[in-house]
Structure 1
Amino acid sequence: MRADAMKNYEHILAVANEVVTQHGTDASLRDIARRAGVGLGTLYRHFPTREALLEALLRTGFDELTATARELETASSSDDALVSWLRDVVTFTGSYQGVVAAMITAIEDTESALHASCVTLRMAGARLLARTQAEGLARTDINGDDLISLTTALAWLGDQPSSAPRAEHHFSIIVSAILTNRASG
């Protein structure tokens, strides 16, 4: 990519991050282009669909969460590692209103621009869960699909104004439902 095109790409992405953080995943693409000082055509050349833009916004965070999961796979406490990773995922996915619905859809849609990133994130969590299960510290009747569903449910709840004040309580309940050695609190 040419240097000026790369600069435009990065600028559009930075502006999109601000707009999507403020207005959620349904933010106006026209508004993003206007705020970035580019034409709508330029935005679409870099991001042909809303989903492609969203994937670019989420990719770095998903990559970081996947790398964190890899690091946590060797942590001495598998249950603490799993809880730490779950908290990070809930926090990250909760930072963009509407991202949870896009993630859930993308996991099942192999044509989705978000599919690979979402599947990789799910597999990272599944590995942490499997380790915790192997040590007898987590229920064995759940899998990576269940884990990502519970995690995104927590992120969605945190996004609801009436539920946000109880986000920590909800997190605790879900953790106690996953792990066999913890009580909710």
Structure 2
Amino acid sequence: MSWVKAGLLSLAFVALLWVVEIVDATQGGDLDSYGIRPRTQEGLWGIPAAPFLHGGWDHLEANSGPLLVLGFLVATVSVGRWLAVMAWAAVVSGLGVWLLAPANSLTIGASGLVFGLLTYLMVAGFLERRPMRILVGVAVFLFYGSVLLGVLPGAAGVSWQGHLFGAVGGVVAAYVHAGRRRARDPYAA
């Protein structure tokens, strides 16, 4: 995908998150109740909804920059790859939160997507044996690598489960797509 189209896709997704937050703010934050509620049947509906919901402007701002940059880098491969990585990150992150987050908690935010995009970019180049993607992965690690500490339990109100399982989702996406490439071309360099 061209850089312009990749940039527009990434920008459009982040703009959608801002529109959702504007609507949520006009509703007094009522949309946030559609997040992930661990180990409850209704909480499963939060898995696809949670990445679009944020706990305020600071929360959304913190996710917007990395989503723009990392989303752009993945989108340069293809729209399909961007969608796949986002889906893997959202589903694996959401299921991890649903299974392991504290009872009676509510988890919202796109951090799982950020961690999924991050680990996908860090791992995919090595699995696909593509030198340029390896360089991108190394650069991403150097710039964003310290963020990976967010997978450890720590600050109250921060879903380390969402971060950890978002990262796992990104690695799974890299592995799945690298396997498809090798199956098509077992001699790929």
Give the TM-score of the pair, scaled to structure 2: 0.31
Higher relative contact order (CA 8 A, sep 6+): 2
- Highest CA radius of gyration, 1 or 2? 1
